[in-house]
Amino acid sequence: MICPFCKKMIDDDSLYCDQCGKELKFCPVCQKPHRGTECQVCGEDLIDGKEYFSRLNGGDEDSDTTAGGQGYLIGDGMKLELKAGPFGRTSGIYPEFSSCIFVSGRHGEFARSAQGWTVMDYGSTNGTYLNGERLKPNVPYPLKQGDTLNVSRLRFTIQL
């Protein structure tokens, strides 16, 4: 899809623009992101990305790209609820990462399944490390209680 702010191409499941970092608002009727509070095409009120993707998935919490719960990232002065979806400095589920210049714009992704939580690195410049080992790009790694996760220079302990 095209970001309504910077007009650059971004992933179809983005909550934030991968390029300019702006939060995306969607028209539930036209199913496109727009600027402002109303759709410029049909006049419908815009909704935030979490609600939009939840509606697209029929309200199914587990298939929602922003589904969270039952876990936290704790460290570097933050306690973040684990959420399924992409993360990075300029996009994704943790706007808190935007202040760390060492986190790539599109750094990695968390996912949740019946087997539990996983983390995957997208081939980021400064890497993602699980218990001191750098993750291979585009390979999901399971997370366990007490694991140490480094997203570049940000260090977290996994609490499940």
What local confidence, expressed as pLDDT, does residue 62 receive? Answer: 41
pLDDT tens digits, one per residue of 106-123? 999 999 887 889 999 999
CA-based nearest residue to 153, from 37, 62, 75:
75
Tokens representing residue 153 in the block: 């220079």
What local confidence, expressed as pLDDT, does residue 66 receive? Answer: 42
Q: Could you give the 3-state DSSP secondary structure of residue 54? A: helix
Please, what sign has the CA dihedral across residues 14, 19, 23, 29?
negative
Buried b / exposed e along 100-130 (16+ C-beta atoms within 10 A): beebbbbbbbbbbeeeebbbbbbebebbbbb
Query: Taking the model in full, what pTM does it have?
Result: 0.59
Tokens representing residue 142 in the block: 């399971």
Top mean pLDDT of 54-68, 70-84, 86-100, 117-131 is at 117-131
Give the mean pLDDT of the chain. 86
Provide the pLDDT confidence category of residue 63 given band limits of 50, 70 and 90: very low
